A and B are shown apart, each in its own frame.
Chain A
Amino acid sequence: MFLKYCLKDSVPVTGLCPQAGSYGVQDSLRRGFSSVKNELLPSHPLELSEKNFQLNQDKMNFNTLRNIQGLHAPLKLQMEYRAARQIQRLPFLPSSNLALDTLRGSDDSIGFEDILNDPVQSELMGDPHIMTEYKLGVL
């Protein structure tokens, strides 16, 4: 079912399943070197809950919407989210995500994700060639 595919029953947890790329082995090119300690234990109690915060909020909101207005409401919204999520710049450039923000209603609120660690001002950038090849599936 469409909805079941999107709303997972459990929150994805880093490290309890190793970060397998294709072939079921650790994908060093994309995720770098790893150590067992890094994989199994989160470095901060808030790390997991922060990583999945947006996902959990959406899950909660969609469930409420489904209970109040019926199944079609979250379905339609998720369709629109999928469409808006595809409006991106080239893979190595930061996108504004304006349509997605407007849909979510986060265009008139400010949180720590806007102030701290802004992706627009990040000092690191992915290698353009490799990132486009990865996006196109050529790599």
Chain B
Amino acid sequence: MATVSVRQYHRGGFSFENCKRNALLEADINKLGFSSPAARKTGTTICGVVYKDGVVLGADTRATEGMVVADKNCSKIHYISPNVYCCGAGTAADTEMTTQIISSNLELHSLSTGRLPRVATANRMLKQMLFRYQGYIGAALVLGGVDSTGPQLYSIYPHGSTDKLPYVTMGSGSLAAMAVFEDRYKPNMEEEEAKRLVRDAIAAGIFNDLGSGSNIDLCVITKGKVDYLRPHDVANKKGVREDKINGRPETGNYRYKHGTTGVLTKAVTPLNLEVVEESVQTMDTS
């Protein structure tokens, strides 16, 4: 009652009121032997490559919650601005909210300057925000786009460090994808070659890492054009049940085929029935 009577100025943003209570609860739960619910991660493979005319970003589409697949087809390539897209690995909610906030800020900024936003601006905004929260926002991002200075690709780590590189991978499958890149990357590739390279890198992550799976999404960004290919490739198709065999539906059909049992003799007796009486009764539908 006392605290409610005269409130101090109430500021928005993160509230740390429940942290102590949560720590106590977690200790109690662990003592009983249960485990507290885990945040949904994207346990991912994301990568990007700079080619002759622009940037190709790639991502898998599996979201995990502990040891269970939470989403078989989630979208990990987020829109930042018409010429800048960002792949996100780490805690799914964190990447989602961070990219949305930066997208809004970049839109306001570009309205204020009157120009198309630059990739370096998005990179600076992201790294400043992630450093402010000292890594507690678990978002590892691959940021790529084409602006007036050319195609650029950045990788941004959860604590706020960034790298500007011609090819980057992030996520739990990053080592598998990086192996493919290190083997086959060449500067100034053509578009088809770059798309094939990214597709193969993501496929390496999908097949060799438990946290990545399902389909491969690609995003090809060039000056003035963005191709968002979702899905570009369905690497792991769910098993298809044989629906029809010989014209009959196979699933749930327990009838035996003709000829399963051998026929010894066959006798046909026609039943001749005469029509004796025929009457019509109207149905009462009132």
Question: Which residues of A does B touch, CB under 8 Å?
Answer: 28-33, 38, 42-47, 49-50, 53, 92, 94, 108-119, 122, 124-127, 130-131, 134
Contacts and interface: CB of A to CB of B under 8 A. Distances in A.
Contact of B6 (A49, A114, A126): A126
17 contacts: A29-B2, A30-B5, A42-B16, A44-B16, A46-B14, A49-B134, A50-B14, A108-B109, A108-B112, A111-B129, A112-B13, A119-B10, A119-B11, A124-B7, A126-B4, A126-B7, A131-B5
B36 interface: no
B23 to A, nearest CB: 8
Interface string B1-31: 0111111101111111101100100000000
A112 B6 contact: no
Contacts of A112: 12-14, 101
Contacts of B19: 43-44, 47
Contacts of B17: 43
Contacts of B6: 29-30, 126-127, 130-131, 134
Given A28-B2, A29-B2, A127-B6, A110 B104 contact: yes
B133 interface: yes
Interface pairs A-B: 6 shortest CB-CB: A32-B3, A113-B12, A113-B13, A43-B19, A126-B7, A119-B10
A115 to B, nearest CB: 7
A87 to B, nearest CB: 14
A124 B133 CA distance: 27
Contacts of B20: 38, 43
B136 interface: yes
A97 to B, nearest CB: 10
Interface in B78-105: 97, 101, 104-105
Interface residues of B, number: 31
A14 to B, nearest CB: 11
Nearest to B134: A46
Contacts of A124: 4, 7
Nearest to B97: A115
The B interface is mostly helix, strand or loop, or mixed, namely helix
Contacts of B8: 30-31
Nearest to B103: A110
Contacts of A42: 16
Nearest to A108: B108
Given A30-B6, A108-B109, A130-B5, A117 B13 contact: yes
Contact of A111 (B3, B13, B23, B112): B13
Contacts of A130: 5-6
A42 B14 CA distance: 14
Contact of B13 (A33, A44, A50): A50
B132 interface: yes
A118 B112 contact: no
A131 B2 CA distance: 12
A109 B2 contact: no
Most chain B CB within a 10 A radius of its CB, from A38, A45, A94, A117: A117
Nearest to B13: A113
Contact of A116 (B2, B10, B15, B132): B15
B112 to A, nearest CB: 5
Given A45-B134, A117-B13, A127-B5, 13 more contacts: A29-B5, A30-B8, A43-B17, A49-B132, A108-B109, A108-B111, A109-B109, A112-B101, A116-B13, A117-B14, A119-B12, A127-B4, A131-B5
Contacts of B133: 46
A139 to B, nearest CB: 8
B8 to A, nearest CB: 7
Interface string B96-129: 0100010011001101100000000000000001
Most chain A CB within a 10 A radius of its CB, from B105, B112, B132: B132
B11 A46 contact: no
